[in-house]
């Protein structure tokens, strides 16, 4: 999982701010086919280069050569989704959603210039100075556990958030109607964390709405500064109203006294909202309920004078930011209602306001529908899982669905000039502006799209809502460039960019990522849903182009071998240069990177891709492609070829191959710190002794015949406690490896060097289940190992969830504790499919 923030590496970062300014100043190109004939036509290519000019990141004008231009040119194949597929008239049920996964609670429209809403809160008087303002999900802010109890991915959700002595419950429900995405309502309930808790300090909730362009907002103010409602109009939403209703006691309709403050200004930029509100919380006010002693609290300036308002009333085109603060004693509930003008304009059929008892009924109805649909889909109760484990399964699904976001913007791409290992004298270029509808690995740490994560995410989503998976796959395939490349990390828009260090903004067009999107594609093929097949028919040219780029660009030194481009250079501070494009980051590869390397996992991914694309081509009647890829798939799955390139008799397993020695270690050398020392024997071309997840890939991707002579040795390694087996799941690197648990540098702790990861354990469970149902000498053993591994993985994730309230990025192979970032409801949500035995 090439996580920039956690895996530091050298990256071209100079001039990133210049590129961001360029990204905001104008749209990128949306060219069709790029490039042209090479060789004899080289003179023509040189001639046309003068037509392609772009502003380089260093601020100077640089020439964009045809090869470079292809890197930032969108693919010419027809889109897998209609170009207007996100508009409310086309997909009204998906137009509004909790598509801001990095905030604790907020909603936005699926639009390049959306209307955004959100929640902040603060406990007044608990600490000296400005109260802690909660808004964006942060790894170390002390909030938690938090997460969605229910979320159906479409129209309903209920989330619980623990913040010290407080427990917040955020709920929303959407109501269809009209031509602009319908209505929705929120309910936010704040209660003491424990019953019988002594009186808490005042709590302030901040409800806000933000526009990103020329949209109109007009506040209507009542007594005491309370906002009656906000009226507005946008081209996509038409007329609408937003209303903050009077607070009540939880479960009651009697109003509860609240103090109100409001603030209205131009939009400072989405990443700056929190700081703007913090900076304005500098006025003392009195909270004066009747018959109760007043209390002080810090509030926003009590007026609706729009600061820096320009004559046009549009804040210099920046949009508007309007926020209302309500302050009162815990416990209480507050409702926030959005009403679409077109949904309300239905004459005698106009519905009542979705608030109070109507909202309560709607929430209860949706919660019950979720429970019934969940059991019908995954059958956990029928399979004998405990009520607590069923709650875990619901939370795993809901957290994944509640982490779906909608992003729009331009990424930075370093073109592939075909000069690997040499200094590329070219600046990154701006990719065209593109939308992305995707789940995210972690709301707190990775709230953006990651390519190889998303294939695993969609294995879960697809079982619940195939339409959501088609939408997501269509968006990812829309990122294809003219060569067939998709960037592995998508940093689109100001909010996403603000969460990423500048040196990790640039994506390299030579670097691949495991093609896991083909996993849900394979499941679509098996299911045979006509809607899925119709989508795959449209998506096929892009899927084929993506696979062809992977197969060709990552070809290895000999036929049917493959090599991940983009390994880190052999720096003296690194124990083993990382291979971020593989997704397995610091998993040990050949000690001395070279073009002679053959990577086992990549070959297996290409074999899977060739198999899936061949089956898809045959299903869709694409005879020419089937004839092209069929022989490739057969060759890659032939055991003789796999043995020749990757079986290591001296290790008794499959392995990478390259210029390697085990005699490397980090040793202290003041004042430099830890330095890599290479001893004897020196490196030579050989199989890489690094038993772990990579060794298992022919098993994990089910490439071996059930009668294969290699299946038994792989099961031996998998089941051996000295190697991969642990009471908590399969460890990523054998405990017997010299790299096990080793740091990669002084500042780089182990990542894929022993910890238990759910995505690979899920693949292992699927493979063991597969071979446990096929006749062969290892059938009974595979079935037994499946049962034992499933019990270990599910049992530990459940135990850690009970103890912490979180799903985690990885788990310790020593004691099972959750590690890495949390909540991590990306591929760790695969625990649900493991419980359901759905592979």
Residues known to be catalytic: 585, 809
| Those residues with Cβ within 8 angstroms of residue 641's Cβ, 6 or more apart along the chain or in another chain | 560, 635
- Helices 387-402 & 356-378 angle (0-180, nearest 10): 110
DSSP state at residue 794: H
**DSSP H/E element including 438:** strand 434-438
State how far the alpha carbon of 372 is from the alpha carbons of 380, 392, 394, 592, in Å.
Answer: 11, 16, 11, 55
State how far the alpha carbon of 246 is from the alpha carbons of 159, 228, 252, 336, 402, in Å.
Answer: 21, 10, 12, 9, 27
Distance CA 398, CA 401 (A): 5
310: left (phi over 0), alpha (psi -120 to 50) or beta: beta
Distance CA 403, CA 829 (A): 11
Reduced to 3 states, what is the DSSP secondary structure of residue 269?
Answer: coil
Q: φ and ψ at 554, to 5 degrees?
A: -105, 20
State how far the alpha carbon of 829 is from the alpha carbons of 383, 385, 401, 403, 453, in Å.
Answer: 18, 16, 10, 11, 11
**DSSP H/E element including 760:** helix 758-771
Instruction: Please choose, from the candidates 751, 748, 715, 719, the residue with its C-alpha nearest in 3D space to the C-alpha of residue 733.
Output: 751
Q: How many residues does the chain have?
A: 839
| Number of other residues whose CB lies within 10 A of the CB of residue 664 | 20
Distance CA 58, CA 49 (A): 20
DSSP state at residue 232: E
Distance CA 130, CA 138 (A): 18
State how far the alpha carbon of 406 is from the alpha carbons of 20, 402, 420, 455, 627, in Å.
Answer: 20, 12, 34, 17, 38
Instruction: Please choose, from the candidates 758, 650, 756, the residue with its C-alpha nearest in 3D space to the C-alpha of residue 713.
Output: 650
Q: φ and ψ at 474, to 5 degrees?
A: -60, -40
Q: Which two tokens stand for residue 485?
A: 């490349």
Distance CA 773, CA 239 (A): 58
Q: Which two tokens stand for residue 675?
A: 């330095």
Cα 368 from chain centroid (whole Å): 28
Place of tokens 């996964």: 101
| Number of other residues whose CB lies within 10 A of the CB of residue 648 | 19
Q: φ and ψ at 50, to 5 degrees?
A: -65, -15
Burial degree of 668 (CB within 10 A; 0-12, 13-18, 19+)? exposed
């Amino acid at each position: 999982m090439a996580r920039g923030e956690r895996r530091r590496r050298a990256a071209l970062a100079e001039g990133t701010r210049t590129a961001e300014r360029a990204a905001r100043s104008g749209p990128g190109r949306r060219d069709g086919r790029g490039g042209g004939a090479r060789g004899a036509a080289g003179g023509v290519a040189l001639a046309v280069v003068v037509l392609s000019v772009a502003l380089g990141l260093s601020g100077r004008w640089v020439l964009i050569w045809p090869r470079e231009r292809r890197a930032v040119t969108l693919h010419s194949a027809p889109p897998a989704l209609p170009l207007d597929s996100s508009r409310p008239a086309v997909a009204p049920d998906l137009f509004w959603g909790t598509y801001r996964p990095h905030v604790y609670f907020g909603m936005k429209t699926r639009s390049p210039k959306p209307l955004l809403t959100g929640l902040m809160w603060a406990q007044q008087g608990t600490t000296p100075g400005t109260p802690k303002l909660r808004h964006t999900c942060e790894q170390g802010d002390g909030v938690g556990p938090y997460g969605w109890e229910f979320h159906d991915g479409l129209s309903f959700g209920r989330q619980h958030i623990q913040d010290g002595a407080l427990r917040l419950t955020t709920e929303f429900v959407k109501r269809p109607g009209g031509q602009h995405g319908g209505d929705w309502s929120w309910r936010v309930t704040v209660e003491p964390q424990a019953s019988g808790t002594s009186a808490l300090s005042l709590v302030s909730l901040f409800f806000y709405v933000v526009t990103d362009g020329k949209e109109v907002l007009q506040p209507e103010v009542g007594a005491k500064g309370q906002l009656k409602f906000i009226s507005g109009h946008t081209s996509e939403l038409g007329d609408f109203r937003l209303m903050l209703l009077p607070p009540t006691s939880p479960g009651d309709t009697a109003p509860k006294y609240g103090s109100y403050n409001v603030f209205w200004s131009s939009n400072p930029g989405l990443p700056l909202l929190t700081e703007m509100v913090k900076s304005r919380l500098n006025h003392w006010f009195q909270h004066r309920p009747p018959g109760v002693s007043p209390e002080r609290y810090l509030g926003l300036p009590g007026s609706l004078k729009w600061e820096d308002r320009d004559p046009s009333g549009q804040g210099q085109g920046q949009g508007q930011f309007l926020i209302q603060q309500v302050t009162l004693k815990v416990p209480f509930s507050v409702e926030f209602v959005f009403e679409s003008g077109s949904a309300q304009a239905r004459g005698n059929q106009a519905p009542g306001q979705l608030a109070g008892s109507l909202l309560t009924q709607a929430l209860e109805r949706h919660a019950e529908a979720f429970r019934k649909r969940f059991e019908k889909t995954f059958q956990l109760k029928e399979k004998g899982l405990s009520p607590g484990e069923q709650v875990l399964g619901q939370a795993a699904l809901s957290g994944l669905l509640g982490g779906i976001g909608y992003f729009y913007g331009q990424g930075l791409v370093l073109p592939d000039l075909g000069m690997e290992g040499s200094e590329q004298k070219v600046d990154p270029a701006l990719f065209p502006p593109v939308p992305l509808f995707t789940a995210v690995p972690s709301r707190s740490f990775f709230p953006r799209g990651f390519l190889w994560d998303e294939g695993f995410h969609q294995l879960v989503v697809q079982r619940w809502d195939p339409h959501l998976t088609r939408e997501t796959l269509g968006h990812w395939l829309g990122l294809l460039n003219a060569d067939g490349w998709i960037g592995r990390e998508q940093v689109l828009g100001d909010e996403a960019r603000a969460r990423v260090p500048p040196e990790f903004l640039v994506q390299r067009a030579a670097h691949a990522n495991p093609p896991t999107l083909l996993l849900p594609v394979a499941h679509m093929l098996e299911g045979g849903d006509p809607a899925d097949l119709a989508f795959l028919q449209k998506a096929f040219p892009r899927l084929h182009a993506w696979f062809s780029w992977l197969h060709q660009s990552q070809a290895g030194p000999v036929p049917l071998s493959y090599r991940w481009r983009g390994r880190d250079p052999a720096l003296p501070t690194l124990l083993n240069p990382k291979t971020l494009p593989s997704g397995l980051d610091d998993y040990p590869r050949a000690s001395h990177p070279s073009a002679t390397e053959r990577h086992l996992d990549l070959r297996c991914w290409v074999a899977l891709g060739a198999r899936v694309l061949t089956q898809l081509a045959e299903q869709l009647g694409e005879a020419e492609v089937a004839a092209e890829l069929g022989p490739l798939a057969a060759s890659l799955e032939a055991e003789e070829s796999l043995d020749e390139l990757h079986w290591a008799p001296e290790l008794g397993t499959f392995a990478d191959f390259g210029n390697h020695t085990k005699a490397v270690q980090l040793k202290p050398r003041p004042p430099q710190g830890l330095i890599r020392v290479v001893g004897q024997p020196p490196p030579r071309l050989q199989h890489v002794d690094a038993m772990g997840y990579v060794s298992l890939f022919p098993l994990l991707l089910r490439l071996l015949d059930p009668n294969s002579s290699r299946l038994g040795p792989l099961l031996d390694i998998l089941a051996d406690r000295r190697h991969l087996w642990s009471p908590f799941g399969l460890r990523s690197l054998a405990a017997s490896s010299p790299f096990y648990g080793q740091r990669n540098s002084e500042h780089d702790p182990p990542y894929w060097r022993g910890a238990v990861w759910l995505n690979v354990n899920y693949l292992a469970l699927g493979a063991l289940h597969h071979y446990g149902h096929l006749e062969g000498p290892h059938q009974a053993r595979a079935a037994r190992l499946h049962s034992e591994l499933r019990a270990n993985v599910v049992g530990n994730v459940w135990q850690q969830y009970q103890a912490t309230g979180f799903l985690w990025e990885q788990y310790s192979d020593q004691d099972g504790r959750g590690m890495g970032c949390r909540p991590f409801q990306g591929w760790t949500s695969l625990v649900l499919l493991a419980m359901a035995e759905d592979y």
